[in-house]
Amino acid sequence: MSIQKRPANRWKEQRGLGDRGGGMNSGIFIVTNQRGKAYIEKRMREEDINNGHAEREILALQQVSSHPYITTMVDHFIDYRRFEASIYLARCTGSSMEELIQRHARNNYQKIAERYIWQWFIQITEALCYWQVSPAQGGLPCKVS
């Protein structure tokens, strides 16, 4: 598997998500491809390009993006001369965990049904297991449920 020096597609930034970058990125953005379909762009920090984290994350996503509980990487690039890198991901269509919590807050903090919490836990567990023993590394698929 290789690292691209520039994105394979042309992306147009639509808007940022959040106020600023997080601990492992310099910003998250909604972008669109030439056909107008929305995706997520994660811009990497210069520090993560220099210490190899950006490359390791891309290589890992290339191996596990086929799992249904892991967001699919659709494009990427690292430009070592300009210290720029981005990972482009499929946009999840469901609501975020933050939106779910806010919705429950508006409903007088109504409890989240235990079955949903177990479902999320199992999905996270299966995704983490897949990271450990992905078929790309010769492992068997994980199934918790």
CATH of residue 70: 3.30.200.20
> pLDDT, tens digit, for every residue of 37-86?
999 999 999 999 999 999 999 998 988 877 888 889 999 999 999 999 99
Q: Are residues 60 and 103 in the same domain?
A: no
For 79, residues 6+ apart whose C-beta sits below 8 A from its C-beta are 5, 6, 85
Is there a single domain that holds both residue 72 and residue 34?
Answer: yes
DSSP at 46: H
- Chain-centre distance for alpha carbon 70: 7
105: domain range? Answer: 94-145
Residues 65 and 76 in one domain: yes
Number of domains in the chain: 2
Report the candidate in 61, 69, 53, 66 with the shortest Cα–Cα distance to residue 120.
69
Instruction: Examine the domain organization and report whether 10 and 76 are in the same domain.
Output: yes
Look at residues 93, 115, 136 and tell me which one is the last residue of a structural domain.
Answer: 93
Q: Does one domain contain both 25 and 69?
A: yes
| pLDDT reported for residue 63 | 84
Higher pLDDT, 98 or 40: 40
Same domain, 77 and 23: yes
Provide mean pLDDT across the span 83-90. Answer: 96
> Each residue of 104-119: pLDDT tens digit?
778 777 777 888 888 8
CA dist., res. 128 & res. 143, Å (int): 11
